[in-house]
Amino acid sequence: MDKTIENLNKKAELYSKETDKIISEVEKVIVGQKDIVKKVVVALFANGHVLLEGMPGLAKTMMINTLANTIDVDFKRLQFTPDLLPADIMGTKIYNQKTGEFTTKKGPIFSNFILADEINRAPPKVQSALLEAMQERQVTISGETHKLEKPFLVLATQNPIETEGTYALPEAQVDRFMFKLHLDYPTDKEEAEILRRMTTGHIPTAEKITTANSILKIQKFVPEIYVDEKIHNYVVKIVHATRDPKKYKIDVEGHLQYGASPRASLWLVLGAKSQALLNSRGYVLPEDVKVIAKDVLRHRILLTYEAEAEGITADEIIDKIISGIKSP
């Protein structure tokens, strides 16, 4: 076992150096938001998708575009609007009068990185069209199935304050996202740096650091990272505590309506493995689970009306659960 861990550590250290280069290159363009950038990379390595919630103008589009540039992959930005149709994203069959046959015209979903901008502005029919693409990595057009490009990452954004002209994401759709991340305003120093970078006429750009094949190798390696049985049990207890907090003597009485799905357990383990890789380790520590716990769980637990009325957030509930479950 020690020899296996040693080999995993060597691989993880090698891949983490490549990861550091990617993050450093992104930071040449994106000021601040280092934690968000790292979390997006963690999700990418774990082969997951990200729901990013933040105010307009916080460089969400620039972030995913810059990340795509560092990895030399295709990037498409989809602006979700109320009149958008599933075919506008997925593609459709077109009749060719010369040949008398139908040909498939593929939509913008056939790309490596997809930015679904303001995803909650599109009706549920369009939102649900992404389900097959996000889960099965394939698209069905008129009964014909097409595989998507690899790696494939969907980063969806939504505005937390606007509700007019928006459609709440269905629970099945939200559950497909590995992470839900909150993007905050920059600090005064960071905003001053943004002004220096973006108002001089010399906007910085990111160089290509790695390739899609390298990312696929890392994605293949992440599941191999060692997780002790105690960590598995720790993850199970955390997720089960969201469903039955009384069993674990966690005081969230009247605040928690529904707990997290089994998908939360899967993403906690895979996310912890990816987080361990970023820290140059071939094995998972409880701290790796804690670092990503809120990002995995905050959109998978449903609070009661009483909790919302009292201003209690999902993050506060998760904090209580994490502090109430003994770490191995």
| Phi, psi dihedral angles at 118 (to 5 degrees) | 50, 55
Type and span of the H or E element at 231: helix 229-243
- Encoded amino acid at 312, one letter: I
Q: Across 120-134, 159-173, 243-257, which has the greatest mean pLDDT?
A: 243-257
Structure tokens at 281: 């380790």
Domain residue ranges in the chain: 2-217, 225-324
- The mean per-residue pLDDT over the stretch 251-262 comes to 83
66 contacts 72 by C-beta, under 8 angstroms: no
Burial 153-162 (b: 16+ CB within 10 A, else e): bbbbbbeeee
Task: Return the percentage of the chain with pLDDT > 90, whole number.
Answer: 24
**Beta strands at 138-141 and 91-96: parallel, antiparallel or unpaired:** unpaired
Residue 318 has pLDDT above 80, yes or no: yes
| pLDDT interval class at 93 (50, 70, 90) | confident
- The mean per-residue pLDDT over the stretch 259-265 comes to 89
- The mean per-residue pLDDT over the stretch 232-246 comes to 92
The pLDDT tens digits for 16-31 are: 888 888 888 888 888 7
Identify the bridge partners of residue 102 per DSSP, sorted by sequence position.
Answer: 95
Residue 165 has pLDDT above 60, yes or no: no
- Encoded amino acid at 187, one letter: T
Is pLDDT larger for residue 45 or for residue 162? 45
- The mean per-residue pLDDT over the stretch 4-25 comes to 87
- The mean per-residue pLDDT over the stretch 145-157 comes to 87
| pLDDT interval class at 3 (50, 70, 90) | low
Residue 267 has pLDDT above 80, yes or no: yes
| pLDDT interval class at 68 (50, 70, 90) | confident
- The mean per-residue pLDDT over the stretch 101-110 comes to 82
Residue 1 has pLDDT above 60, yes or no: no
Whole-Å CA distances, 309 to 2, 53, 201, 254, 303: 52, 21, 47, 12, 10
- The mean per-residue pLDDT over the stretch 167-178 comes to 77
Is pLDDT larger for residue 249 or for residue 277? 277
Task: Mean pLDDT check: name the lowest of 94-98, 164-168, 222-226.
Answer: 164-168
- The mean per-residue pLDDT over the stretch 184-204 comes to 80
Distance CA 324, CA 320 (A): 6
Evaluate whether the domain defined by 2-217 bears CATH number 3.30.590.10. Answer: no
Strand runs (DSSP E) across the chain, as ranges? 50-54, 75-79, 91-96, 101-106, 113-117, 138-141, 144-147, 153-158, 179-183, 256-258, 302-303
What is the predicted pLDDT for the residue at 290? 94
Distance CA 237, CA 246 (A): 12
| pLDDT interval class at 278 (50, 70, 90) | very high
Task: Return the percentage of the chain with pLDDT > 70, whole number.
Answer: 95
Does this chain's domain 2-217 share its CATH topology with 225-324? no
Residue 222 has pLDDT above 90, yes or no: yes
Residue 148 has pLDDT above 70, yes or no: yes
Is pLDDT larger for residue 271 or for residue 22? 271
The pLDDT tens digits for 35-63 are: 888 899 999 999 999 998 877 777 777 88
| pLDDT interval class at 141 (50, 70, 90) | confident
What is the predicted pLDDT for the residue at 163? 58
What is the CATH superfamily name and number for domain 225-324? Magnesium chelatase subunit I, C-Terminal domain (1.10.8.80)
| pLDDT interval class at 233 (50, 70, 90) | very high
